[in-house]
Structure 1
Amino acid sequence: MMLVSKICAAILLAVLRLGAGLLPLKVYQKLDKWSQRGDLKAAEKQTINKRRKRVDLFMSVFLCFGAGLLLSTCFIHMIPEVRDSFDKVIKSGQYPALEQFPFPEAIVVLGFFAVYLFEELGELLMGHGEKKKKKKKANAAGSPTVNGQSPVKMVTSDSEDDRHKLTIITVPKEDIGTRRVTEEGTDNDSDDSSHHGHNHHGHSHGPPPILSDLEERSVAAAIRGFLLVFALSFHSIFEGMAIGLQPTLKDIWFLFAAVTVHELAIMFCIGMEMLASHIRVGIYIAYMVTLGLITPIGVAIGIFVTEYFQDPTPSHTLTIGILQGVAAGTLLYVTFLEVLERERRKSGNGLIKLLSVFVGFVLLSSLEALGGHGEPTTDHQTQTTVGLSFVLQPVTTPRYTFYSPKA
C-alpha cells in the first residue's frame, strides 16, 4: 500500500507540474491577444494602450509574486538546509576545517558567480559584446549598421535636377541584421552607376547578417532558462526524494500537498517569466517537460534508496549540501538580476510590485513555518541524501527539528 501510494503521488505530481508549466503558454497567448483586440471603436490608440498597460501590470504582478516565491525558497528553505548539511558533517568530525570558515554562505555566493559567469560567457560566444559596439557606433554616426557598415548613405543637393540621382536606403530597426541590403540607383550616369554597383556587390558578398534583437533575446532567454531549470531540478529532486522517503501514508500525502502548492506556483510563475523573455516555444516546452518529470524522478529515487541503501556517510551529506548551495546561488541570480532588476526598470506601479514580492515571500515562508517541507517524522535534508534507509526519530528543539536514528 505504501509503495502504491508513493507511485500514485509521483504520477499525480508529474501531471500537475506539467499542466502548471504549460498553462502560462495559453495564458500568455490569451493576454497578448486580449491586449491587441478590440471592436472598431476600441481600435483607437488610447483604448489599446490602456489594455496593454493592464496586461503589463498583470504580468508584472505575477512575475514579482514568483520572485517572492523564489526568494523564500532560497533564504527560508534552501540556505538553512545547506547550513544543516554542513553542521552534520562538522559534528561527524571528519572535516574539521569546515569550522574555520562560513562555507555554506560562500558556496551560495560561488553559485551566484558561477551562473553570472556562465551567462556572460554565453553572451560572449554569441558575439553580444561586438554587436553592442557596432550599435553604439551606428547611433553615434546617426545611421544603423549591417555587417559593420552603414547601409544608409545620405546625399544632399540643392539642385532640383539632381534629386533623381539620390539613393537613400532605409532599413527598419527591427530588420537590421536580418536581411541583406542592396542599393539600386535611379540615375544612368556612369559615375553614380558604378558607385551603386560597387555597393551592391559589397553587400551581396559580405559576411553573414548578424542576429536580430529578437533572436538575440531568444538565445539569451534560452541560456537563462537552462540555468533556472538546472537550479530548480536539484531542488525538485530533493523534494521528490523527501516524498519517496516518508514512512506513513499520512506523511506521504501531507508532504505531497505542501510540495504541490509550492511547485505549482513556482512552475506557473517561472513559465510566465520565461515567456516574457521571448524564449522560443519549442525550448520552453522542453524545459517545462523536464521540470515536470524531475520531482517524480526524485520520488522514485527516494523509494529506491529506502529499499537498497544504508546509512549516509558525511561525504554524501557534504555533497548534497554543496549542490543545494549552488542551486540556491542560481536562484539568487535569477531573482535579483533577472526578475526584480527588470521590473524595477519599468516605471510605475512600484508599490504594487513590492507588495506582490512580499506576498509571494510570506506565502511560501508561512508554508515552511507550518511544516510544509518537513513533517515531524522526516528530515528533508538528511533523508534526501543518497544511501539513507533508516527511519529517523525526531528530536525537537524550539526553532529547528533535528533527527537521530531509531534505536
Structure 2
Amino acid sequence: MDNSTVSGLSAAASSTPDACALDNSFDYFGLRVGGMFIILVTSILGTLVPIALRQSRIIPRPVFEFAKFFGSGVIIATAFIHLLSPAWAELTSPCLSGTWTEYDWAPAIAMIAVYGIFFAEVAAYRLGTKRLERLGVAYSAHNGDEADAHAHSHQHDPPLDVDTSGPETEHHVHPSVSVHPRITERSQRAGRSGGGGAAVAVLEFGVVLHSVIIGLTLAVSSEFPTLFVVIIFHQMFEGLGLGSRLAGMSLPDNYRWTRYAAALVYAFCTPIGIAVGLGLRQSYNGNGVSANIASGILDATSAGILLYTGLVELMAHEIILNPRMMKSSTGRLTYVFGCMMLGSGLMALLGGWA
C-alpha cells in the first residue's frame, strides 16, 4: 500500500464523525431559551385544567372520564415507547464497554424498579392499616374470604347506574369496617388520602424524572426543531394524564393545595432540564459514556415506575378489580377502552420523532 493510499484512508477516517464525541455544533439558541417558557405554559395548561375544572358543573362528566382514561393510555405508552425503548438504546450504546455490554441492563433495571414500587406500596399499605387501627378502624378488605378479591358484600352499594368514581364522591363505608363514632370523619379522611394519594405520588415521581431528562436532551439536541414540536405535545398529553389523576384525589381541605403544587412541579421540570442543558452545552456530551449510563438508568427506572402505575394502579385496580366498572354497560366499557387506546396511540405515534 503506497503512501497516497494511506493518506487517503487517514483523511477519510478523520472525516467520519465519532458517535461518542462531543458535538459542539449549536444553533437555535434563542428558540431553545424561548422553548422553556412555551413548554412551561403548555405543561401547566395540560396539568392544571383538569384540576381547575374538577368542580365545574358546565363541563360534562364524560369529558372528565375522557381525560382520565386518555391519560392512562398516555402513561402506559410513555413507559414502553418513550422510556424503555430509549433506555435500551442508551445502555446498549457502542460508546459503552465492559459490564454494560455483557447484559441487557435496561429491562433488568425496569424490573427492579417495578419490584421496588411494589414493596414500597405493600409497606405503605401495612403502615396505613396500622394507623387506621390506632384510630379505631378495623378494616377487612375481603370480608373473611382471602381467596377472592371480589368476595366482599355489595349489599349497601348505591345503584349501579350511580357513578361513584368522580372526584367529589364520598366513598361508602364497607360493611366489614367497624368505625368508632367519634373518629369516623378523621379515619375516612385518612383512608381516602392513603392508597390513591400514594399511587399518584408514584406516578408524579416517574414523570418528573422523565421530564428532567427530556429537557436536558432537548437543550443539547442537534435535531431541535422536530424534537421541540413533539415534546410540546408530549408534555401536554402527559400533563393531562397526571392532572386528571390529581383532580380525582380525595384530600382533606388543608391539603388540597398539594394538587396544584404537584402540577407545578411537573410543569417546571422540563424547563429546568432545558436550562441546565443550556448552561452545560459546551461541556455536556450527550453521546458520552457517563451521559448514556445516567440517562439509561433514569429512563429504565422511570419506565418501571410508570409500567407498575399504568398496569396495576390504572388498569387493574380501576377496571378489572373495580366491581362497579366490571358491571358497567358494554357501551361505557367500550368508551373507556377507546379513550385508553387513543391516548396510547397518539403517544406511540409521537415516539416516531422523539
Q: TM-score, normalised by structure 1?
A: 0.63
Contact 1:221 1:274 in 2 (8 A): no
Displacement after TM superposition at 1:236 (Å): 0.7
- Report the CA distance shift for 1:258/1:273 in structure 2 as closer, same or farther (over 3 A): same
Partner of 2:319: 343
Displacement after TM superposition at 1:213 (Å): 2.8
- Report the CA distance shift for 1:361/1:28 in structure 2 as closer, same or farther (over 3 A): same
Partner of 1:119: 121
Contact 1:225 1:287 in 2 (8 A): no
Partners of 2:337 and 2:46 lie apart in 1 by 24
Partners of 2:38 and 2:78 lie apart in 1 by 22
The one-letter code of the counterpart of 1:343 is I
Pick from 301, 318, 335 the counterpart of residue 326 of structure 1. Answer: 301
Partner of 1:17: 43
Partner of 1:82: 87
The one-letter code of the counterpart of 1:227 is V
Partner of 1:300: 275
Partner of 2:110: 108
More RCO (CA 8 Å, sep 6+): 2
1:3 equivalent to 2:5? Answer no
Pick from 69, 72, 76 the counterpart of residue 71 of structure 1. Answer: 76
Displacement after TM superposition at 1:246 (Å): 3.2
The one-letter code of the counterpart of 1:117 is F
Give the 3-state SS of the residue equivalent to 1:95 in structure 2: helix
Partners of 1:121 and 1:359 lie apart in 2 by 34
- Report the CA distance shift for 1:21/1:176 in structure 2 as closer, same or farther (over 3 A): farther
The count of residues paired between Structure 1 and Structure 2 equals 286
Which deviations, in whole Å up to 9, do the C-alpha atoms of 1:259-289 show, x marking residues without a partner? Answer: 1111111212221122223244211111111
The one-letter code of the counterpart of 2:86 is E
**Highest Rg: 1 or 2?**
1
Partner of 2:241: 269
Contact 1:222 1:283 in 2 (8 A): no
Displacement after TM superposition at 1:9 (Å): 0.8
- Report the CA distance shift for 1:331/1:176 in structure 2 as closer, same or farther (over 3 A): same
Displacement after TM superposition at 1:311 (Å): 7.1
Contact 1:63 1:269 in 2 (8 A): yes
The one-letter code of the counterpart of 1:314 is V
- 5+ residue gaps, structure 1: 36-53, 141-171, 181-207, 374-407
Displacement after TM superposition at 1:128 (Å): 5.2
1:314 equivalent to 2:289? Answer yes
Contact 1:94 1:314 in 2 (8 A): no
Pick from 192, 198, 201 the counterpart of residue 226 of structure 1. Answer: 201
Give the 3-state SS of the residue equivalent to 1:307 in structure 2: coil
Partner of 2:344: 361
Contact 1:178 1:211 in 2 (8 A): no
Pick from 265, 276, 286 the counterpart of residue 261 of structure 2. Answer: 286
Partners of 1:70 and 1:85 lie apart in 2 by 21
Contact 1:233 1:291 in 2 (8 A): yes
Pick from 94, 98, 104 the counterpart of residue 94 of structure 1. Answer: 98
Displacement after TM superposition at 1:331 (Å): 0.5
- Report the CA distance shift for 1:79/1:301 in structure 2 as closer, same or farther (over 3 A): same
Partners of 1:93 and 1:116 lie apart in 2 by 32
- Report the CA distance shift for 1:18/1:316 in structure 2 as closer, same or farther (over 3 A): same
Give the 3-state SS of the residue equivalent to 1:29 in structure 2: coil
Q: Percent identity?
A: 18
Give the 3-state SS of the residue equivalent to 2:250 in structure 1: coil
Partner of 2:22: none
- Report the CA distance shift for 1:246/1:332 in structure 2 as closer, same or farther (over 3 A): same
Displacement after TM superposition at 1:340 (Å): 1.3
The one-letter code of the counterpart of 1:103 is W
Partners of 2:81 and 2:285 lie apart in 1 by 29
The one-letter code of the counterpart of 2:72 is A
Contact 1:241 1:301 in 2 (8 A): yes
- Report the CA distance shift for 1:210/1:177 in structure 2 as closer, same or farther (over 3 A): farther
Written as runs of structure 1 = structure 2, the 5 A alignment for 1:63-212 is: 63-88=68-93, 92-95=96-99, 98-99=101-102, 101-127=103-129, 131=133, 134-136=138-140, 173=173, 180=182, 211-212=186-187
- Report the CA distance shift for 1:133/1:212 in structure 2 as closer, same or farther (over 3 A): closer
- Report the CA distance shift for 1:104/1:354 in structure 2 as closer, same or farther (over 3 A): same
Partners of 2:348 and 2:54 lie apart in 1 by 28
Partners of 1:328 and 1:64 lie apart in 2 by 19
- Report the CA distance shift for 1:235/1:178 in structure 2 as closer, same or farther (over 3 A): farther
Q: TM-score, normalised by structure 2?
A: 0.71
Displacement after TM superposition at 1:221 (Å): 3.1
- Report the CA distance shift for 1:64/1:318 in structure 2 as closer, same or farther (over 3 A): same
The one-letter code of the counterpart of 1:321 is G
The one-letter code of the counterpart of 1:278 is S
Q: Quick check: 288-297 or 260-269, which moved more?
A: 260-269
| Root-mean-square deviation over aligned CA pairs | 3.1
